[in-house]
Structure 1
Amino acid sequence: MSDNKRIIIFDTTLRDGEQSPGASMTIFEKIQLAHQLQKLGVDIIEAGFPVISKGDFEAVNQIARQVKGPKICALARAKAQDIEAAAAALEPATNKRIHTFIATSDIHMKYKLKMTREQVVLQAVAAVKKAKTYVDDVEFSAEDAARSDPNFLFQVLEAVISAGATTVNIPDTVGYSTPLEFAQLIKSIKDNVPNIESAAISVHCHNDLGLASANSLAAVEAGAEQVECTVNGIGERSGNCALEEIVMALNTRSDVFGHKTRIDTKQLVPSSKMVESFTGINVQPNKAIVGRNAFAHEAGIHQHGVIANRGTYEIMRAEDVGFESNEFVLGKHSGRHAMKLWLSRNNIRLADDEVAALSESVKSLCDQKKRITDSDVFAILKETQQEAVAMAEPTHFMETRRW
């Protein structure tokens, strides 16, 4: 892949993401989220799995009708009824894709499908050919590709590309692979599938070992052109590659990857908050990019460094991902530099010895409370600096979440 080539962002929050236990969304919520994904700038929205329920069919159909810009995709097993349902649901879309799949690992074929390798190849080819009668753009996924016999995987991929698949997806379905292994698999596909240039290579990594984003980035370095991901990394079991992580890794380390996306990064936090609200799955505070602590600083050494130059401890700008600003937290680890900044933002002037005393009082309070708020600091000030507090103009420095 040449430098600065754009990576296709395939968002499957509405399909794989919704498969997180307890994450089901209403049709209205799915449509609202699809509009937000369009605003975010994703290339492809996998809107759902139409054959599984009337609700999923209707959601895909309404998104296909209402959301313009991104390509709208529907999932289908390598079965005629699934493909027919996907095609019917996608009918209103002007830009659409059918995504069909079948497992290719020995364990899946033996215990789940109860099919031979020959039967799997025939069914995969038949599914792609049928999908091509409805749409020009067909994606084929070899489920559990990372645990498949590579030579059989090459055979399947060659066959489905010959049948008309325009994208071939290589899933690490159970999050088993490592970055080196996964990169080698992508390279081996490029080297051993003779017609691979006729199709884009996609990857879909799960996070069971916490390696989904790392595996996806390794695949990009090895030549993958599309990454399948979800907002907040939600999905089956431990989830999927997190969209915000893959996008900001590509943006922040363009010197390493040499690729870019068309994502409007300032929409990452609003998208994250919408998914959090609709699914009820809260983002962990230390979640990369969109967690509430991602741009928060409590340690005095860090606060001093960031006040002097943000680049000392921040490799990204909070504003660039959708937060209003970074955040300084007053706590037992914070120092006088953060306290002076808090006082300045609240138009309070104190002598250096008074600042030091206030910092010590705040630290003492931290032994009793986990999180200090503006109200706590003002309460301390009222006991010792009533005149300064009376002149203050509170800015809610710590209490307001900036997004």
Structure 2
Amino acid sequence: MKHLILPAVVAVAPLAAFAQVEQGPANADFQPAFENQTRAPALESSAVTVTTVADGLVHPWGITPLPDGDWLVTERPGRLRVLRADGSLSDPVSGLPEVDARDQGGLLDVAAGPDFAESRLIYWTYAKRVSGGTVTAAARGVLSEDRSEVTEVEEIFTQTPPSSNAMHYGSRLVFDGPYLYVTTGEHFSVSDRQLAQELDTTYGKVVRLTHDGSVPADNPFVEQEGARPEIWSLGHRNIQGAATGPSGELWTIEHGPAGGDELNLPEPGENYGWPVVSYGQRYNGEPVGSGEARAEGFEEPVYYWDPVIAPAGMTFYDGSFEEWQGDLLIGSLTPGGVVRLEIEDNRVTGEERIRQDLGRIRDVHMAPDGSLLLLVDQEDGSVLRMTPGI
């Protein structure tokens, strides 16, 4: 589906024609390609109650539910913990591989396998030190009955090539039936970021695998000589959020530079432009790549932010609070809190900023009761519960 290629600027309503979320001036002087591609109308403020579920975690990064009400939580230094239903935390689960915890690296996302109740398989992503540098890797293993260790560990994906920069690893895990999506980053440096456009690397890509790490036969570049067959889409910067939408489609969200955070609907084989085009600019104020926000052959983002929200984990709401039904809830690292997007027909129709005083929210996951569990990413981090409608 070719849904958002717009090589020329489309006339849109003036950005000041409706009430917007208060966010300050943009860094870059670009006009959106279509109405509500950025600074959508402000939604009515939501009433929420926030409580602390657990604290004392060191830079928590990913969280996933288990069938009996417990949760698994990663800590970036390399620890996996069980968060029990009563709010207590287990000792670190043993058996995980060593992680490269320098800079932005470490133990990252975690997901219980779709058949966890039978197989006890869990999956995780992490920064791995290898000969020649560091990479994003994904692995899986069997969680013991008492949840104290992981056995039968096998690596199912290793980014290529290694980088000397311990930055921009991605990464999130999303299951889609027999498939598993893994998102990656492009390691930040001016030289490394160019590889987001190269098909012989897995920098700045969405990767699509089966659960055991093999490559699906219908991936878009399987038959292309010199291309990595696991690539689903390319031209991404640093994808730290991914989720399945209400109709089963994959959505991703990635960090831009100074401005230009993007929400995308990655289609097979499509190119999302980084670092050739961007709705942001470099941190020193210089232009990114071509200096343009769009160009022929690159997909438009569904939505972008300037200034940034520094997006992390996200989820589509499907709980008991009707006012949020189908909305996208995104963790923000800067300025913090949760960003809510109302989406209709794959276009954003409204935005809300919720509790920006909560700090750096690294992941967002919906609990069975319709509340949200939020990870606060700091040295003395925590798990919060946000309950809407209270």
Output the TM-score relative to the length of structure 1: 0.29
Larger radius of gyration: 1
- Which protein has the bigger strand share? 2
- Which protein has the bigger helix share? 1
Output the TM-score relative to the length of structure 2: 0.30
